[in-house]
Each structure stands twice: as C-alpha cells, then as structure tokens.
Amino acid sequence: MKISIHQPSYWPWLGLLHKIYLSETYVILDNVNISKGSFQYRNQFLCNGNVKYITLPISYDSKMKLSEIKFKSDEWRENQLSFIRNYYLHSKYFDEIFPSVENLYNKYYSNDACSFIIETMIKTFEFFDIKTNIFRASDQNFMNSRGELVLEICKFHEAKTYISGQGARTYMDEELINSFSKNDIDIEWQKFNFPKYAQFNSKDKFIGGLSSLDLLFNYGITDSRRIFSKI
C-alpha cells in the first residue's frame, strides 16, 4: 500500500494533489503545530498578472496544533469569496467552477478552521477525480515528531511505500531512511514538473505554483483533469 502524508492545505497546489493522486492512502498531518505564513491556511492566486495571497483569518498561536485552529470571526466567508470572485470573474470557466466553491463556503458554519481547510481539499479532489482514501492524523494518538512521526504513521497504516515530496530531504537523514528500510517500507521520491497552461490574466507570462483553482478556472473540470493526468 502506498501512502502520502502532508499537512492540510487551503485550496492545494497541483504538486500536493499529484503526490496524493499517486497514493492509495493520504494521511492529513493535522496533529502538528501550525506554521506562520505557511500554505496550511493560505495560498497563491493570480490577479492581473500578479501573484496574490488569499489568507484565512485564523487565531494564531505557534503552540497550537493545526486541528485546533479557529476563525477570528464569522465574517471570513464573504471576504474569501470576494477575493476569488474578483480574481477569476472573467475566466472562461468561472460559471462552471465558482458555484461549487461558493456553495462550500456558504454551507460551512463551524468555527473549526482546520476542518474547513480539509473541506477545500476534498472539493479539489472531486474536481480532479482523486479517489485516494483519506485519514486525519489527529484521530490517532501518535507520539513522535517530524520524520519519526511519518514513520509511525506509515507503520500504523501498514504501508509498504511512502511517497515523499522533495522537501522532506531536509529531515530524512540516513538514519531515518534506514529505519524505513528496517520496517520494510520503501521511500518513493515524488517527481513533479508543474504543467504550463494558458492563464487569462497572466499578461502573457505563465506563473506557476498557484492554487489548483487557477487551472480549474482557466480550463474547466474536463480539461483540467486531462492536463493533471499527464503530469
């Protein structure tokens, strides 16, 4: 069984979706501390050729677990929708994508910010037809941290292969890699090249690394799935 493990991400980018797509099981790493300014609760979008961050207004405490974060107030829904609406109103597939996005915000009334972030991920999985099994790390009493936590989760789910992004090389030292090997778990390093596609508001210069919503607004569900399947 192939597994991937990653923090929740607000309207995730294609690189994370690709790693999850390659996996049979994806564990949402929501039992770790929140990182200020991370893509856990914000992401990049395109506005008139410029990269803009859309950030969820959460009550921030560096000692908080991601599963514990809350919204600062009840006014966040319309503010977030206004940003997305204004940035992509004139995109070719706005009328196909935005109603589903809007409905997600309008039906969510809890103050649990992490669960909403996960809802944006699940909606993105639906858009791209990703059928990977999903679990939350916070549902189990895992005890370790960083690389050892990843190994612990892999063992719990009886994984045979752990799919890792290239960024994990900073903490996956030789000793930890050997620990995976001793537990008969192979490490598969993800290979991902961001696909280039036409962006209606890019000023003729492709800008990568954005939320996957950017591709969806520009190409719609059918062609976005086609582009994604060729990554």
Average of pLDDT values for 123-145? Answer: 96
Residue 71 pairs with which residues in a beta bridge? 58
pLDDT (0 to 100) of residue 168: 75
**What confidence tens digit (pLDDT) does each residue in 92-121 have?**
999 999 999 999 999 998 999 999 999 999
Whole-model pTM? 0.95
Count CB neighbours of 196 within 10 A.
10
Residue numbers of the domain that contains 35:
2-229
Q: What's the average model confidence in pLDDT over 124-140?
A: 97
Q: What confidence score (pLDDT) does residue 115 get?
A: 97
Domains in the chain, number: 1
Instruction: Give the torsion through C-alpha atoms of 170, 117, 190, 164, to 10 deg.
Output: 50
Q: How far apart (Å, rounded) are the C-alpha atoms in residues 33 and 183?
A: 27
- What is the DSSP annotation of the chain? -EEEEE---SS-BHHHHHHHHT-SEEEE--SSB--TT-TTSEEEEEETTEEEEEE--B---TTSBGGG-BBS-S-HHHHHHHHHHHHHTTSTTHHHHHHHHHHHHHT---SBHHHHHHHHHHHHHHHHT---EEEEGGGS-----HHHHHHHHHHHTT-SEEEE-GGGGGT--HHHHHHHHHTT-EEEE----PPP---TTSTTS---S-BTHHHHHHHHHHHHHHHHHT-
Bridge partners of residue 13, in order along the sequence: 211
Backbone phi, psi, residue 80, to 5°: -65, -45
Of how many residues is the chain composed?
231
- Give tens-digit pLDDT for 164-216: 988 777 777 788 889 999 999 999 999 999 999 999 999 889 999 999 999 99
